[in-house]
Amino acid sequence: MALNRDFVGRASAPSAPYEVSRVKIREFATAIGDSNPIYHDRGAAQAAGHPDVVAPPTFPIVFSLSGGAILADPELGLNFAMVVHGEQRFEYRRPIHAGDELVSVSTVTDIRSVGRNEFITVRSDVTTVEGELVCTTYNTIVERGGAG
């Protein structure tokens, strides 16, 4: 089923603040097989000029998909069983580190058909609870056969 184009421009409510913890950064770094001390050891991170351990570049995938609420809206018409990840991008103003409390607002920026597939792109603006923009993520998912 074609996705509902009326969703382009629609934004989520701000997420509940996500508290970035040393333990979660360590767990994520371990899961991707990365033993970089700047992820695991506060002293090493501080020696490199960071206030605390830093999150790996792809870490925001853990919390930035608050667009999930939009994607799950039945009015959009997305069949999750047919979804694959198409593209992903992270654009940083500064590194994320343990102690950050981050709020995400997700906006549908594009819906298009390519062949028989539907592509939907969601941008998430990630700010601190004080309102400092830290990172913007761009997530494109593909619904296979959605336009057929």
Among 3, 18, 20, 39, binds another protein (CB under 8 A): 39
Q: Which is nearer to another protein, 70 or 97 (CB)?
A: 97
36 lies in the site for another protein, by CB under 8 A: yes
The least distance separating another protein from the CB of residue 53, rounded to whole angstroms, comes to: 10
49 lies in the site for another protein, by CB under 8 A: yes
Q: Which two tokens stand for residue 50?
A: 């960071």
- The helices-and-strands tally (H runs, E runs) of the chain is 4, 5
34 lies in the site for another protein, by CB under 8 A: yes
58 lies in the site for another protein, by CB under 8 A: yes
Among 6, 16, 46, 89, binds another protein (CB under 8 A): 89
- How many Å apart are CA 42 and CA 60, to the nearest integer? 20
17 lies in the site for another protein, by CB under 8 A: no
23 lies in the site for another protein, by CB under 8 A: no
**Which residues 6+ apart lie within 8 Å of 22 measured at CB?**
42, 52, 53, 98
Residue 17 carries which side chain, given as an amino acid letter?
P
31 lies in the site for another protein, by CB under 8 A: yes
Give DSSP secondary structure letters for 78-112.
--GGGEEEEEEEEEESS--BTT-EEEEEEEEEEEE
- How many Å apart are CA 110 and CA 119, to the nearest integer? 8
Residue numbers at the binding site for another protein (CB under 8 A): 24, 27-28, 30-34, 36, 38-39, 48-50, 54-58, 61-62, 81, 84-92, 94-95, 138
